[in-house]
Amino acid sequence: MRNTLSKRVRASELAASMGLPWFGTDVSISHVRTLDTVDEGALAFANSDLDQKRHCAATIIAKPGARISKGAVIEADNPRLAFARALHQIERLAGFRGYEAEASVGEGAKVSSTAVLGRSVTIGARTVIGENVVICDGTRIGSDCIIKSNTVIGEPGFGFERDENGVPVRIMHLGDVVIGDRVEIGSLNTICRATLGTTVVEDDVKTDDHVHIAHNCRIRRGALITACVELSGGVDVGEFSWIGPNSSLMQKITVGDGSLVGIGSNVTKPVAKGSTVAGNPARVLRASTDPQ
C-alpha cells in the first residue's frame, strides 16, 4: 500500500496548509489509516463522536469540539471532505512512498506479451494472465489463477466528496488488491484498489465477464459472481454464495455465506446467511433455516 508518507508532516503544518484550527499535541504524521485501525503517527478522520480514550498519539480530522486524550484533532465541518483535501496536501508537502520492486512472476505462470504488470506486482505459480490485462502497482495474485483478457486490477476506486460548491473532490486511493489461489476472473472485469486498506478476493472465487468489484470489497472463499454484476464500495460477499447476472449491490452491504441473489436484483439491505433474495428492491424469497 502507498499509505506511508515519504517524510513525516506535523499536524500543525498540515492544519496550517489547509487553513483549519487544530488542538492537542503536535504529533508527526507518518501514515494514513481508517479510524478503526488508527495507531501512533496515523492520520484518520471521524464523522461521528470520538472515543477520547481509544486513540493513541494520532491526528484525527473531526467536527468542531472533538478532542482526544493523545495526539491532535484538526477541526473541520465536513471531516470527510477535509480528509480528502488533506491527502492531496500531504502529496504536495511530503508525498507518499511508491512501489519500487519489479513485478515477480511465479514458476510456471504464463503472462501474455500484451499484459501490463505494474511495480511490485506478485503473480503466483502456474497463474495465467490473458491478453491486454492490466495489473496495477502492488497487486498480489495467488497460484493457479486465471485472469481473462482485458481485465483491469488495482486502479483507484470511485471515491469523491463534494466541496462547498458541489464540485467533486477525489479521495486518493492508497490501498491495494489481494487475490487468493485458484481464482478465476472473467474478461472485462474491473477490481479497484482499496481506499486505505485492501480489496480482497479470497481462494476459489470465480467471476464471470463484465463484473465490477469496487474499492474495499471482500469476496469470500468459493463465491460465484456472474455476468454484469456491480458490487459497490465495501460490499462483503459471503463464502460459497451466488450473485446472479445484472445484479447491483449497494455500498457496504453484507451477503451471508451460502446465500443466493437472483437475476437483476437491486440489493439495498443485508442478505442473511443461507437465504435467497431477488427483485428491485431485492426481497427475501427463501429465508435462512440457520438459527445463526
Q: Please identify which residue in the block is written with the cell numbers 495467488.
A: 142
Give the span between the Cα atoms of 172 and 2, in whole angstroms.
Answer: 10
Q: What is the DSSP string of 47-92?
A: SS---TTT--S-EEEE-TT---SSSEEEE-SSHHHHHHHHHHHHHH
Helix extents (H) in the chain: 11-18, 79-93
Cβ atoms 194, 215 nearer than 8 A: yes
CA distance to 17, 65, 82, per residue, from 77 (Å): 17, 10, 8
Q: What is the DSSP string of 2-32?
A: --EEEEEEEHHHHHHHHT--EEE--PEEEEE
Q: Answer yes or no: 215 catalytic.
A: yes
DSSP character at residue 34: -
Looking only at the bridges linking them, the beta strands covering 122-123 and 152-153 are unpaired
Catalytically annotated residue among 31, 173, 212, 215? 215
Catalytic residues, which ones? 215
